[in-house]
Amino acid sequence: MTAAEALRAAVARLNAAGIEDAPRDARRLLAHAMRIAPDRVTLHLADPFDAGMAAAFDAAIAARAARQPVSQITGWRDFYGQRFRVTPDTLDPRPETEILVTAALERPFVKMLDLGTGTGCILLSCLAGMPFASGTGTDQSEAALAVARENAESLGLKTRARFLRADWFDGIAGKFDLIASNPPYIAEVEMPGLSPEVRDWEPSAALTPGGDGLDAYRAIAAGAGARLMPGGRLLLEIGPTQAGAVEALLDAAGFDRPEVRTDLDGRDRVVEARWPEATGGCGAS
């Protein structure tokens, strides 16, 4: 059997399982089984497919047919130009979250806090783009923190990033000029409608806080001011219908008027707000 023959059979198998983009996923999994880069698959389609490759490919296709995400099967996901290790203990880094990273890098910062860090993709991407900065990533999951630490080491950022187990701001000392978060924001009633890849395979605690999906924003809005330097920024990824509610929470907490950024589909995706600059100064009464 050649790689091309194995690929054709795998595409048919994934189509039969209802996988939306079966050819793309099959090619990525073929590259994984052959231990080559995905963009090299075409060059190797005529190659013989040995027993080891066949077994690895069969297992990968079976997992994908069961709706396990490709990134969990391969163990990695590209995000903001870098490769991150992914496991079932972490959210799969998504292209929409790159909007938050881009916003973070528009202005200099020296000390960053990433709440609910998961793979560490937000913190580590920001640090990679701001060479003089350092940062802290927090998460309630020790398993996720282990993945984040591994990513920091593989990306050469271990000395500038630390990771702590924390429930939002509990136990976090000091102040930061940038706080970022992609918190759980899916409302409880929306969970059944998620794709099986998300609902059944990603950690539910990282997807939803229950209820209306806003509890994480309430906690962050209430605590961020005490942890931000004057003029410091807060960047939050949001669900596409949540901008108004999150803006209202930040307004009530004393932030300057928030700004909403949209994704490539025109949906609200990131809210950015500033903590007010310090007032007064020398000679002020």
- Tell me the per-residue pLDDT of 159-176, one tens digit each, with 9 for 90 and over: 999 999 999 999 899 999
Average pLDDT score over residue span 183-190 = 96
Same domain, 46 and 173: no
Last residue of a domain, one of 23, 38, 66: 66
Average pLDDT score over residue span 116-135 = 98
Structural domain includes residue 13: yes
Last residue of a domain, one of 42, 66, 90: 66
Residue type, 108: P
Average pLDDT score over residue span 172-187 = 97
Distance CA 274, CA 225 (A): 9
Average pLDDT score over residue span 80-105 = 97
Same domain, 125 and 258: yes
Tell me: pLDDT of 281 over 80.
Answer: no
Same domain, 195 and 222: yes
The structural domain count of the chain equals 2
Same domain, 143 and 242: yes
Nearest to 125 by CA among 38, 217, 227, 235: 235
Distance CA 148, CA 159 (A): 13
pLDDT of residue 48: 86
Distance CA 110, CA 203 (A): 31
Structural domain includes residue 103: yes
Q: What is the pTM of this model?
A: 0.93
pLDDT of residue 283: 42
pLDDT of residue 279: 56
Structural domain includes residue 75: no
Can you list the positions of beta strands (E) in 161-203? 161-165, 176-181
Structural domain of residue 53, as residue ranges? 3-66
Last residue of a domain, one of 66, 100, 115: 66
Structural domain includes residue 281: no
Same domain, 12 and 153: no
Structural domain includes residue 280: no
Please report, for the domain that includes residue 139, its CATH number: 3.40.50.150
Tell me: pLDDT of 134 over 70.
Answer: yes
Tell me: pLDDT of 15 over 90.
Answer: yes
Average pLDDT, the chain: 95
Same domain, 148 and 13: no
Average pLDDT score over residue span 6-27 = 96
Average pLDDT score over residue span 62-82 = 97
CB 256 within 8 A of CB 279: no
Structural domain includes residue 28: yes
Nearest to 100 by CA among 132, 81, 123, 71: 123
Same domain, 246 and 137: yes
pLDDT of residue 282: 46
Same domain, 243 and 270: yes
pLDDT tens for each residue of 201-259: 999 999 999 999 999 999 999 999 999 999 999 999 999 999 999 999 999 999 998 99
- HSE, side-chain direction, 13 A CA sphere, residue 253: 24
Distance CA 118, CA 59 (A): 26
Which residues have a Cβ under 8 Å from the Cβ of 59 and sit 6 or more positions away? Answer: none
Structural domain includes residue 282: no
Question: Residue 278 carries which DSSP code?
Answer: P
Same domain, 177 and 268: yes
Tell me: pLDDT of 98 over 90.
Answer: yes
CB 104 within 8 A of CB 179: no
Same domain, 138 and 173: yes
